[in-house]
Amino acid sequence: MKTKPSLLFIAVLALALAFTVSSPAQEKKKFTNEQVLKMIKAELPESTIILAIESDPDDLDTSVDGLIALKEGGASKPILDAIAGAKAKKEAASPPAAPAVLNETPSLNEAVLVQGETRTKLMQGGEMKASGNPFSGSKLRQVFRGARSPARFKSGEIALELFIMSNMRPEETVFLVRPELKKDERRVETMRASGFMVVSTSSGNKELVPVKYEKVGEASMPGMTAPKYRLTPAAKLEPGEYVLMANHQFFDFGVD
């Protein structure tokens, strides 16, 4: 004969189920500066406090105000040093973020000038000219016709983006320069030779513009992966003429 469950049993079962559904998983308690101060107040050994700091520094406040508050709360110099150093060590040991995979077809023959929300593709320009002779010395220059580039941009925040080959270092192969102005042309020296020996391929009569190099991602092309870099001038570009030298190609523009 089947018996009906008692009302008490049903009530207990319902209460247990309700507790299971509504009770969130217990979260790990954050180890903060307040926890360090509690350990100091409880007079735990200094070595124990330092071990706790080094094992879980993620949520510690290493700002000036945070360290001053710890000092006023009784933190010793070794404890303060441990707090300041543990977080920095963990961040330094963290692997760098993987570069973003760009959904675009890379081209090594293009450069883009970015100004605000506007992106403008720069055109390659100039022609290579040699002067001198092998005995007295010779120079190779990229020469642009006209005193001013036809590509003009307003003065302001400017950045340049381009793809390069994966085996190239941008600091050694990509430069932003001020060309030499001669009558109705602009010149950028690319190589200098003395006799039959090349003595320079990057120096010369041109003014390098300091820039910051930032890898913004990479994209696939047949047989290789091409990284994309953004060049940001260290200071606002002054009005004048500029040339981006990259991948043995030259892109000229002017700033008004």
Residue 90: what pLDDT? Answer: 66
Residue of higher predicted confidence among 172 and 5? 172
Residue of higher predicted confidence among 88 and 163? 163
Residue 224: what pLDDT? Answer: 80
- The answer on pLDDT for 79 being more than 80 is yes
- The 3-state DSSP composition of the chain as helix, strand, coil percent (nearest 5) reads 25, 35, 40
- The answer on pLDDT for 25 being more than 50 is no
Answering whether pTM is above 0.85, one says: no
pLDDT, tens digit (0-9, with 9 covering 90-100), for 130-139: 887 666 667 8
- The answer on pLDDT for 239 being more than 70 is yes
Distance CA 29, CA 201 (A): 59
Residue 19: what pLDDT? Answer: 42
- The answer on pLDDT for 96 being more than 80 is no
- The answer on pLDDT for 55 being more than 80 is yes
Residue 88: what pLDDT? Answer: 73
Share of the chain above pLDDT 70, in %: 77
E strand intervals along the chain:
111-115, 118-122, 127-133, 137-145, 152-153, 159-163, 175-178, 180-182, 185-194, 197-200, 207-208, 211-221, 224-233, 240-246, 249-255
- Do strands 240-246 and 175-178 pair parallel, antiparallel, or not at all (unpaired)? antiparallel
